[in-house]
Amino acid sequence: MAVRIVVDSASGIPEAIAAELGITVAPLHVMHEEEGASTSGLSAIELAAVYARQLERGGDDGVVALHLSKNLSSTWSAAVTASAVFPDTVRVVDTDTAGMALSAAAMAAASLARDGASLDECEEAAKKTLERSQTWLYLNHLEGLRKSGRLSTGTAVLSAALLATKPILRVNAGKLELAGKTRTQAKAFSKLTELVLERAGGKPVFAAIQHADSLEAAQSLAATLREVLPEGSTIMVEPLVDVLAVHTGAGSVGLSVVFSTDDVDNPAG
């Protein structure tokens, strides 16, 4: 495989899939301190080293880099800085998302790379996959996101007032925004299922559910989706990686879906 694919650990891509497709995962930093855990993005120096190793392995044909939204981490801007060292050979995609939507884009690009596709073709495959994806979050509380600065105080106050303690958020244009007004887990999952079905339009989807110490809840959502999604759909259940779970908190469930069509502006989502 000449073109190499790089993601950061916020993608949550399973190790077995990364190994099978030759995808390199650059780990973001999780720091454990007395006042609690925090996270830190990758530096330009760290990423330049990652890209250099992959270019060496791929014969300098190029790297497609897929990182956490620039609105949620400093990693993307560091990646852009690092890519300047390798003009035209490292393509940093502005993903505007997080979680396993990144994994899906990486898998699409890596599958083409394995078949000998060009750098342009691999980059385009990643972008098209991202355009057809959507990510939602079901949370037990908003405090972690608010403290980290990844959710505005205004949004936190509004959601607390409207949604009690268990909001649904979605990643839209790289930022977190309210997506529903439910008060219980059952109603939240029903709402999520409704949103996915509406966007799917009767066509198969790829759905990845991630959870933070909430396997039973994630399996419940997966079972519901399996009952109603069109034939040919794929559903995965994976743990939410630490670098995201630090901010979303225990009991949170993420849902990333890649649709067969690119109706990314659906206001219902």
Is residue 144 within 8 Å of 247, Cβ to Cβ? Answer: yes
Q: 30: which 2 tokens?
A: 């999780």
Residue 140: per-residue pLDDT: 75
φ and ψ of 124, to 5 deg: -65, -40
30-74 pLDDT, tens digit per residue, is 887 766 778 889 999 999 999 999 999 878 789 999 999 998 889
Residue 55: per-residue pLDDT: 95
176-193 pLDDT, tens digit per residue, is 887 877 888 999 999 999
Contacts 24+ apart (CB under 8 A), 238-242: 238/12, 238/14, 238/100, 238/208, 238/209, 238/210, 238/211, 239/12, 239/210, 239/211, 239/212, 239/215, 240/12, 240/99, 240/210, 240/211, 240/212, 241/9, 241/10, 241/12, 241/210, 242/30, 242/37
φ and ψ of 93, to 5 deg: -85, 135
CA 137/CA 225 separation, integer angstroms: 16
Q: 225: which 2 tokens?
A: 């989706």
Residue 46: per-residue pLDDT: 97
- Provide the 10 A C-beta neighbour count for residue 34: 4
72-122 pLDDT, tens digit per residue, is 889 999 999 999 999 989 999 999 999 999 999 999 999 999 999 999 999
HSE (CB half, 13 Å, CA atoms) of 24? 19
Q: Which residue, 42, 107, 87, 31, is CA-closest to 68?
A: 42
Residue 178: per-residue pLDDT: 79
The residues pairing with 37 across neighbouring beta strands, listed in sequence order, are: 32
Residue 144: per-residue pLDDT: 57
Residue 162: per-residue pLDDT: 47
Is residue 42 within 8 Å of 83, Cβ to Cβ? Answer: no
What is the band of 229 on the pLDDT scale with cuts at 50, 70, 90?
Answer: very high
Average pLDDT of the chain, as a whole number: 88
The pTM of the full predicted model, rounded to 2 decimals, is: 0.89
Residue 103: per-residue pLDDT: 97
CA 190/CA 187 separation, integer angstroms: 5
Residue 165: per-residue pLDDT: 59
